[in-house]
Chains A and B, each alone.
Chain A
Amino acid sequence: MDTANAADLFQRHHLALFRYVYRLTGRRDIAEDVVQDVFLRVVRGLNGYQTIGREAAWLFTIARRLLIDRHRGLDRRPSAVDDSAYMSVPARQEASTALAEALALVPEVECDAFLLREVGGLSYDEIALVCQTTPDSVRSRIYRARVRLKALLSPTAQVTS
């Protein structure tokens, strides 16, 4: 793939890829490294484009493999990196911190599937391909992650619990 096409893919997908890795690991430096490596692989043609899925699924598959290869057993607790430079509204900063803390408490397989759905916008079938599992398993992982997160994040759930 030439640089022009890679740049176009980068423009469209780099933020979602960054947020997926960042929210999964809690580490900005790792998220940046993984996103960079994904697009370097795309330019070098190391991962041939597969037309069976959308390009987003292809990019997330590369990102996920890189993450598994490089950061196996990574501590998923959010790092103490200051997000203030990236947040303009205090409420958003607060939400981001709460989100990071809540996601860190969700089991990794559930969090992975949930983020691929919510951040990556992948369908259940695509997530199943990326995670090498079945769509039924994906449905189950996502709903369990949602139930945990609603208990951790939702004001009504916190009031009632």
Chain B
Amino acid sequence: MNERWNETLSRLIDGDPIDPEIVAEALESPDGRRILVDFAFVRATLNLDTAGPSAAFYPRMQASLAAAEPPRPRRTGDVSLRIVAVSAAAALLLGIGIESWRHQRTDAPPPAARVLRFAPSEWTNVKAGDR
């Protein structure tokens, strides 16, 4: 009987769902009431516990947390790096553009310096050296 009361009353003080009939049965008995009081005493003893870390722990903890954080790159450096990268890309594109334009210019035929016109006429024999 005590076993069942112990388990039910232990669950009761933890807020776990229990069978109310078992609780009623336990609390009607002086033994059951004593179990509940004893459980409450155990909890109260734990609540009296004021154990905590030593005073030296806190500065040690603060230092180790600060050291553990990975160093963050500065935001200004981050922006500068982006500007340099964009400038380099723009310069590269500009260079490629100018170079391809120049290639287009040299490959194009030069403008005509003179125009030859051919007029139809009769066939004539010319001696060597008269041309």
Q: Is B115 on the interface with A (CB-CB < 8 A)?
A: no
The number of chain A residues touching the other chain, given as a range, is 35 or more
Q: A52 to nearest B CB, angstroms? A: 20
Q: Is A156 on the interface with B (CB-CB < 8 A)?
A: yes
| A150 closest partner in B (C-beta) | B38
Q: In the complex, what residues of A have CB within 8 A of residue B45's CB?
A: 95, 98-99, 153
Instruction: Report the Cα distance A154→B46, complex, angstroms.
Output: 12
Judged by DSSP, the binding face of A is helix
Q: Is B64 on the interface with A (CB-CB < 8 A)?
A: yes
Instruction: Report the Cα distance A50→B49, complex, angstroms.
Output: 30
Q: B60 to nearest A CB, angstroms? A: 7
Q: In the complex, what residues of A have CB within 8 A of residue B35's CB?
A: 150
Q: Once A and B bind, how many residue pairs between them come within 8 Å at the CB atom?
A: 110
Judged by DSSP, the binding face of B is helix
Interface residue total, chain B, C-beta cutoff 8 A: 31
B49 lies within 8 A of A99 (CB):
yes
For chain A, residues 6 to 22, give those with C-beta under 8 angstroms from any C-beta of chain B: 6-7, 10, 14-15, 18-19, 22
Given known pairs A18-B53, A35-B53, the reply for A117 and B65 (CB within 8 Å) is no
Instruction: Report the Cα distance A94→B64, complex, angstroms.
Output: 34
Q: In the complex, what residues of A have CB within 8 A of residue B51's CB?
A: 18-19, 22-23, 28, 83, 86, 96
Instruction: Report the Cα distance A155→B16, complex, angstroms.
Output: 26
Q: Which of A31, A39, A86 contacts B65 (CB 8 A)?
A: A39
Q: Which of B6, B43, B48, B60 contacts A143 (CB 8 A)?
A: B6
A156 lies within 8 A of B37 (CB):
yes
B-side interface residues toward A, CB under 8 Å? 6-7, 10-11, 14, 16, 34-35, 37-39, 41-43, 45-46, 48-54, 57, 60-61, 64-66, 68-69
A-side interface residues toward B, CB under 8 Å? 2-3, 6-7, 10, 14-15, 18-19, 22-23, 28, 31-32, 35-36, 39-40, 43-44, 83, 85-88, 91-92, 95-96, 98-99, 117-119, 124, 139-140, 142-143, 146-147, 149-150, 153-157, 160
Query: What are 27 inter-chain pairs, A to B, with CB distance below 8 A?
Result: A2-B69, A3-B66, A3-B69, A6-B65, A7-B65, A14-B61, A18-B52, A19-B49, A19-B52, A32-B54, A35-B53, A36-B60, A36-B61, A40-B65, A43-B65, A91-B48, A95-B45, A96-B49, A99-B46, A99-B49, A117-B14, A142-B10, A147-B10, A150-B35, A150-B42, A153-B41, A153-B42
